Amino acid sequence: MKEYLADRMKLIDSSGIRKVFALAAELEDPINFSIGQPDFDVPEELKEKAIEAIRAGQNKYSQTAGDSVLKQKVAGGVKAEFGWAKPAVLITSGVSGGLLLAFMSLINPGDEVIMPDPYFVIYKHLVNLLGGRCVFVDTYPDFGLHVDRIEAVITDRTKLIVVNSPCNPTGVVYSEEAIKRLAEVAAERDIVVMSDEIYDKFCYDGGCPSIGRYYEKTLLLRGFSKSCAMTGWRLGYAVTSEGLAGLVEEMTKIQQYTFVCAPTPFQKAAIAALDYDVSEYVAIYRRKRDMVYEGLKDKFELVKPSGAFYAFVKAPGGNATEFVKKAIANNVLIIPGNVFSEKDTHFRISYATSDEKLRQGVEILCSLA
């Protein structure tokens, strides 16, 4: 039989997260700890901004790089935060869209991309699709940013270092000291750092240091999906300093032929979203974080998350896939660690659900332990 599919499709599998998410739709009232989706809705004020834009006829394409007012506001915020003189901005179809554009613009076959392990699932697969080589840096057991380990694997083929803080799946927030040290190492070797900061609003024990403050050759990716629950609106942004403006230009070029532009009426709502106070939601998720950690720490080995809304928990016996099967058999949906890691010793919990579901799920997991 003739082979119709491209060879590259053999390099990726369906997302393990989506497989469990699909399974949730088949179960009756599951305790769903699988998906990283806020359990609150888009704030009413921001919904109204999108509705106003739709009713005003702002439903056509925007400029490829995004709505000019939104871009200016993003640039002004980044300039104030990092001191970048002329930030280059691209409004993307979610941070995932920004990741695709960035990786396509940067990675040649054979280029090496360094990423701490565990990592967000999309990084590995995009690098593989483009013919690059993932260089995984083991961060177990504390999941911190181990700059010495990163420095040890840099070669002449290193094209990019990827950091994600607060981190999905671990919930760890990298220390300012480690971020500064990485900036020094990247500057010494003239390597671009991509900083995925989609969870930057969800920090529970202090601030979330960004490498953008210390290193201008940073590609910053942020968005609205998590902080404002706009997961289905597909809206994010990519920003670089003036020195990397050429990268944003190339990403914009690819956006012309792929996404075309981010959704126009939602860009209008995002202008207001940049100023929206999410501290109430952060406080709620800090409390949920505490519920999960306090409920599990006596039965499981886990690092207390400092951000995002995930916990990465060591599975009893060290086999996450087997433990996940037991959990699902008891109506609790969790994700095995091998979705996010070259190891399969831990499982991920998303605590973006109701307090009642958290209590039920924690009780069941502890009984299984």
pLDDT tens for 214-268 read 999 999 999 999 999 999 999 999 999 999 999 999 999 999 999 999 999 999 9
Instruction: Identify the sign of the CA torsion 33, 24, 94, 136.
Output: positive
- Structure-block tokens of residue 65: 């790089």
**pTM for this model (two decimals):** 0.94
Strand residue runs (E) in 118-217? 133-138, 158-164, 192-196
**H helices within the chain, ranges in order?**
16-26, 44-55, 68-82, 94-106, 121-129, 147-152, 176-189, 245-257, 264-273, 279-296, 320-329, 355-368
Q: Quote the pLDDT of residue 10.
A: 84
- Structure-block tokens of residue 211: 């490498």
Q: Cβ of 313: how many Cβ atoms within 10 Å?
A: 28
**How far is residue 99 from each of residues 39, 88, 102, 122, 223, measured CA to CA in Å?**
25, 16, 5, 8, 12
Query: Does 287 score more than 70 pLDDT?
Result: yes
Residue 162 · residue 196 · CB < 8 Å: yes
Q: Quote the pLDDT of residue 5.
A: 87
Considering only CA atoms, which of 6, 56, 66, 89 is closest in space to residue 267? 66
Contacts of 248 (CB under 8 A, 6+ apart): 65, 88, 89, 90, 238, 239, 240
SS3 assignment, position 105: helix
Name the CA dihedral angle for 331, 284, 170, 119, rounded to a multiple of 10 degrees.
90
Cα Rg of the chain, angstroms: 20
CA 145 and chain centroid, separation: 16
- Structure-block tokens of residue 80: 């104030």
Q: How many CA atoms lie within 13 A of 266 on its CB side?
A: 21
Q: Quote the pLDDT of residue 156.
A: 97
Convert 187-253 into a string of H (helix), E (strand) and C (coil). Answer: HHHCCEEEEECCCCCCECCCCCCCHHHCCCCEEEEEECCCCCCCHHHCCEEEEECHHHHHHHHHHHH
- Structure-block tokens of residue 286: 């800090």
**How far is residue 291 from each of residues 201, 246, 256, 296, measured CA to CA in Å?**
20, 45, 45, 9
Q: Quote the pLDDT of residue 19.
A: 67
- % of the chain residues with pLDDT over 90: 90
Q: Quote the pLDDT of residue 3.
A: 79
Contacts of 307 (CB under 8 A, 6+ apart): 165, 166, 167, 171, 172, 173, 199, 202, 203, 204, 208
Tell me the mean pLDDT in the region 80-85. Answer: 96
Q: Which domains does the chain have, with CATH numbers?
A: 7-42+278-368 (3.90.1150.10), 44-273 (3.40.640.10)
Q: Quote the pLDDT of residue 308.
A: 97
Lowest mean per-residue pLDDT among 35-39, 288-292, 312-316, 353-357: 35-39
**How far is residue 133 from each of residues 107, 110, 251, 337, measured CA to CA in Å?**
9, 6, 21, 21
Q: Cβ of 105: how many Cβ atoms within 10 Å?
A: 18
Query: Does 196 score more than 60 pLDDT?
Result: yes
Query: Does 8 score more than 90 pLDDT?
Result: no
The residues facing 133 across adjacent strands are 112
pLDDT tens for 150-168 read 999 999 999 999 999 999 9
Residue 87 · residue 79 · CB < 8 Å: yes
Query: Does 55 score more than 80 pLDDT?
Result: yes
Considering only CA atoms, which of 273, 318, 369, 294 is closest in space to residue 141? 318
- Structure-block tokens of residue 180: 């500064």
Between CA 340 and CA 321 the distance in angstroms is 12
Task: State residue 103 phi and psi, 5-degree precision.
Answer: -65, -40
pLDDT tens for 90-130 read 999 999 999 999 999 999 999 999 999 999 999 999 999 99
